[in-house]
């Protein structure tokens, strides 16, 4: 008696991990893209989507368009949003009021300002943040870490920490990190 052989296509074969897990290979490419967008919780570039799902950028682009059309044609609270060159799975914008009703964020104004400073300048050294925001920033940092909005890692040389935003911040606030400017693209200071 012959063993049953499962048919595979090239994109599903690429999705297998070294341990041989094939659960992801059973899913269609649009379903795998949806899983990646859900798990990342932030905008992901087409190149990164292709790498994570084991397909070409062209295949990822086609599958992403299928997935976006599927979301557009059904009544759902989620949508695939394109921001610049990244794609993310987000709650529809018209549900913002419901979100604030169900998940109120009771951060104080000073803590929100500290969070905004981190968001604008990340990665930022904790010592620099305290210089900018005052000694109350230490309490803000503790609260923001406890809520999972920021992460902290010790400097390799020195006693301070580097502060960065977490995936939870990006999911909660649906804010894309600012693009990193190369030194040639930095605006020049006006001369007086």
Q: For residue 150, tell me if it sits in a domain.
A: yes
Q: Are 147 and 81 contained in the same domain?
A: no
Give this prediction's pTM. 0.47
Q: Which range of residues forms the domain containing residue 121?
A: 105-173
Q: For residue 184, tell me if it sits in a domain.
A: no
* pLDDT at residue number 12: 41
* pLDDT at residue number 25: 58
Give the count of alpha carbons within 13 A of 157, CB side only.
0
Q: Are 92 and 23 contained in the same domain?
A: yes
Query: What is the count of structural domains for the chain?
Result: 2
Q: Are 73 and 115 contained in the same domain?
A: no
Q: For residue 1, tell me if it sits in a domain.
A: no
Asked whether the bond before 158 is cis by omega within 30 degrees of 0, the reply is no
Q: Are 69 and 109 contained in the same domain?
A: no
Q: For residue 63, tell me if it sits in a domain.
A: yes
Q: Are 29 and 53 contained in the same domain?
A: yes
Strand-pair partners of 45: 86
Q: The domain that contains 142 carries what CATH number? A: 1.10.10.10
Beta strands in 14-149 (DSSP E): 44-45, 78-83, 86-91, 124-125
Q: For residue 126, tell me if it sits in a domain.
A: yes
The length of the chain, given as a count of residues: 192
Give the count of alpha carbons within 13 A of 191, CB side only.
0
Q: Are 123 and 163 contained in the same domain?
A: yes
Q: Are 113 and 158 contained in the same domain?
A: yes
Q: What is the DSSP letter of 85?
A: T
Q: Are 111 and 52 contained in the same domain?
A: no
Torsion of CA 17, 20, 26, 32, to 10 degrees: -10
- Hunting for tokens 């991990």 — which residue is that? 17
* Domain end among 79, 96, 113: 96
CA–CA gap between residue 21 and residue 1 (Å, rounded): 25
Q: Are 66 and 130 contained in the same domain?
A: no
pLDDT tens for each residue of the chain, 192 residues long:
444 444 344 444 444 444 434 555 578 999 999 989 888 777 899 999 999 999 999 999 999 999 999 988 888 888 898 888 899 888 787 776 776 665 556 778 788 888 888 888 888 999 999 988 888 899 999 999 998 889 999 888 878 899 999 888 877 776 655 555 544 443 443 343
Question: What sign has the CA pseudo-torsion 39, 45, 49, 54?
Answer: negative
* pLDDT at residue number 100: 62
* pLDDT at residue number 105: 66
* pLDDT at residue number 95: 76
Q: For residue 185, tell me if it sits in a domain.
A: no
* pLDDT at residue number 151: 93
């Amino acid at each position: 008696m012959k063993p049953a052989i499962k048919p595979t296509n090239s994109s599903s074969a690429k999705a297998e991990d070294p341990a041989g897990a094939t659960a992801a290979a059973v899913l269609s490419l649009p379903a795998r893209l949806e899983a990646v967008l859900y798990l990342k919780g932030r905008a992901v570039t087409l190149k990164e989507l292709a790498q994570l799902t084991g397909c070409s950028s062209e295949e990822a682009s086609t599958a992403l368009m299928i997935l976006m059309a599927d979301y557009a044609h059904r009544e759902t609270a989620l949508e695939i949003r394109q921001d610049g060159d990244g794609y993310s799975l987000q709650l529809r914008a018209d549900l913002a009021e419901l979100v604030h009703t169900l998940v109120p964020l009771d951060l104080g104004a000073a803590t929100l300002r500290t969070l905004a400073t981190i968001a604008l300048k990340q990665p930022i050294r904790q010592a620099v943040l305290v210089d900018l925001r005052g000694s109350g920033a230490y309490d803000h940092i503790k609260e923001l870490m406890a809520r999972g909005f920021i992460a902290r890692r010790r400097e390799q040389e020195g006693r301070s920490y580097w502060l960065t935003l977490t995936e939870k911040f990006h999911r909660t606030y649906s804010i894309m990190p600012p693009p990193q400017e190369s030194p040639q693209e930095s605006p020049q200071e006006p001369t007086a």
